[in-house]
Amino acid sequence: MATTYTAARDVTRAPEDLANLIDGRWVPAQAGGVVEHRDPATGAVVARVPESTPADVELAVEAARRAFRTWRLTPAPRRAEVLFRAAEILTRRKEELARRMTEDMGKVLEESRGEVQEGIDMVYYMAGEGRRLLGQTMPAELPNKFAMVVRDPVGVVAAITPWNFPFSIPTWKLCPALVAGNTVVFKPSTDAPRLARDFIEILIEAGLPAGVVNIVYGAAPAVGDALVRHPDVNVVSFTGSTAVGKQVAAAAGSLMKRVSVELGGKNAVIVLGDADLDLAVEAIAWGAFGTTGQRCTATSRVIVERSVQAELERRLVERAAALRVGPGLEPGVQVGPVIHAGALAKIAQHVEAARAEGARLLCGGSRVTDPALTGGHFFAPTIFTDVTPGMRLAREEVFGPVLAVMPVDSLDEAVDIVNGVAYGLSGSIFTRDVNRAFRAIRDVAVGILYINAGTTGAEIQTPFGGTRETGNGHREAGTAGIEAFTELKAVYVDYSGRLQRAQIDLDLS
């Protein structure tokens, strides 16, 4: 069975001209530069994006700093009402936003709808935190004294987001920051620029005051670095590559800023000999080739017991061959393009390195050259086997539709391989043995673990993040998503009418 390719229909639209948002006004970049953004499936220009400079960052931070003075004093339930209204608008506009997302970054329409829904869920969830923002109370050690902990907003947040989840990841950052009373300067990726504009327009329609969120488009060296180093930015929340994340963390840390970085992954599925192979194959194919492998939680490695290796590989190759590749807006397409030509070149380099190091190619392995897909950036779903732990394909993030199969003889060996890479985001195990499942829960060193499911599919009410070089310990989503954007303040209320000295004036008799 051969992979099927589907051409795009000829749909011509005028490109959209985007603008920065500074203090409630949509304005061009001060230097006047723009860059073109192209649909990765067709090559058509869909937007012209401001090419901002540090001067634009300066204006945006000033606006956010001014707005913080009043936004922080707005009662949290009132701040939350803006999010609730925005969620209702987003729900009505879900299909429109999903289609725009597919044009912007290529994921198939079904996945785009799912991402918009995830964003809607996050907006609703974090709006609910406006009536919680939980602190603590605890007994004081002295009489007639009360002790509690409250949460304060930190200040101005720099939110720097990637192209692969251009709607949901901004909601992960902006919603908890806003409901906690912070203001934001938002730098979205120029590789998927329009959803950021749409989301902020909807927040404004829902009642967000001017200056509370500001958008500055532009390249990371000019805009991102200026944001990270700006003295009036208090929190940096970044999602992107590990290499850039290390630079962000080092720069922000040297300035004593709070910094949260969510970075790469090299996620593995363990398949034991007693696994339901039909279920495992579906989960692995979805995890490896969904979003064309362009997720931090994508399934990159399959670590399989040798007793079922051959059968699992046969089924995976058959499943990969049945996938329909093409533009994400076309009905029936399951695998869209990668984001740009540079991504294609990087994936090809990983494939050639795998061949050179002795991995055996089972399917795919090349750019799609079908005439139906001229103009787009398509790479065939690819599977290698006999991959060993020292190979680049077993250790480095590919960010494309490439899967490495690694045979093992035991669960202990599989766990060692899972944990033997720099990343620790997501993992999975397929087994019918509850004892071995619980051993995996105990021993697999990742931030997210699935039992009899793939490596993707996190829900918004649970914390998202990983260990080792996947991040610096902060988590997004769930109640933990508030942590990076709030300061804890211990408060003591002494109503004794006299000075009581803690640890000194204790009567222990």
Distance of CA 103 to the CA centre of its chain: 19
Q: Reply yes or no on whether the pLDDT at 175 is more than 80.
A: yes
> Do 86 and 231 belong together in one domain?
yes
CB 429 within 8 A of CB 270: yes
Residue type, 449: L
Q: Reply yes or no on whether the pLDDT at 153 is more than 60.
A: yes
Q: Is residue 457 part of a domain?
A: no
The mean pLDDT of 433-459, rounded to a whole number, is 98
> Do 116 and 224 belong together in one domain?
yes
Q: Is residue 386 part of a domain?
A: yes
CB 394 within 8 A of CB 418: no
Q: How far apart are CA 310 and CA 430, in angstroms?
A: 16
User: In what helix (H) or strand (E) does residue 422 lie, and over which residues does it extend?
Assistant: none
> Do 273 and 224 belong together in one domain?
no
Q: Is residue 508 part of a domain?
A: no
Percentage of the chain exceeding pLDDT 90:
95
Q: Reply yes or no on whether the pLDDT at 12 is more than 70.
A: no
The mean pLDDT of 82-88, rounded to a whole number, is 98
> Do 208 and 276 belong together in one domain?
no
> Do 327 and 418 belong together in one domain?
yes
262 a catalytic residue: yes
Query: How much is the pLDDT for 506?
Result: 86
CB 102 within 8 A of CB 329: yes
Backbone torsions φ then ψ of 491, nearest 5 degrees: -125, 130
> Do 331 and 441 belong together in one domain?
yes
**Which CATH number belongs to the domain containing residue 53 in this structure?**
3.40.605.10
Close Cβ partners of 47 (under 8 Å, ≥ 6 residues apart): 15, 16, 17, 18, 36, 37, 104, 193, 194
Q: Is residue 2 part of a domain?
A: no
b/e per residue 147-184 (b: at least 16 CB within 10 A)? beeebebbbbbbbbbbbbbbbbbbbbbbbbbbbbbbbb
Q: How far is CA 393 from CA 141, 151, 178, 246, 386, in A?
A: 57, 44, 40, 22, 11
Q: Reply yes or no on whether the pLDDT at 201 is more than 80.
A: yes
The token pair that represents 16 in the structure block: 């959209």
> Do 403 and 439 belong together in one domain?
yes
Q: Reply yes or no on whether the pLDDT at 1 is more than 60.
A: no
What is the average pLDDT value for the chain, to the nearest integer?
96
DSSP 3-state of 139: strand
Q: How far is CA 180 from CA 76, 153, 232, in A?
A: 7, 6, 18
Q: Is residue 501 part of a domain?
A: no
Q: Which of 262, 305, 313, 469 is catalytic?
A: 262
Q: Reply yes or no on whether the pLDDT at 21 is more than 90.
A: yes
Q: Is residue 497 part of a domain?
A: no
397 a catalytic residue: no
Query: How much is the pLDDT for 465?
Result: 98
Question: Residue 13 — pLDDT band, cuts 50, 70, 90?
Answer: confident
Q: Is residue 156 part of a domain?
A: yes
Residues 23-81: tens digit of each pLDDT: 999 999 999 999 999 999 999 999 999 999 999 999 999 999 999 999 999 999 999 99
pTM for this model (two decimals): 0.96
> Do 280 and 384 belong together in one domain?
yes
Query: How much is the pLDDT for 221?
Result: 87
Q: How many distinct structural domains can be found in the chain?
A: 2
Query: How much is the pLDDT for 389?
Result: 98
> Do 274 and 254 belong together in one domain?
no
> Do 165 and 278 belong together in one domain?
no
The mean pLDDT of 312-317, rounded to a whole number, is 98
The token pair that represents 376 in the structure block: 């787009």
Q: Is residue 108 part of a domain?
A: yes
Strands ordered across the beta sheet of 136-139: 136-139, 145-153, 486-494
Query: How much is the pLDDT for 298?
Result: 98
Question: Residue 91 — pLDDT band, cuts 50, 70, 90?
Answer: very high
Query: How much is the pLDDT for 2?
Result: 59
**Which CATH number belongs to the domain containing residue 373 in this structure?**
3.40.309.10
Residues 456-489: tens digit of each pLDDT: 999 999 999 999 999 999 999 999 999 999 999 9
> Do 218 and 306 belong together in one domain?
no
Query: How much is the pLDDT for 11?
Result: 58
> Do 238 and 305 belong together in one domain?
no
Residues 218-238: tens digit of each pLDDT: 998 899 999 999 999 999 999
Q: What is the domain extent for residue 134?
A: 12-263+471-489
Residues 349-370: tens digit of each pLDDT: 999 999 999 999 999 999 999 9
Q: Which of 111, 129, 296, 483 is catalytic?
A: 296
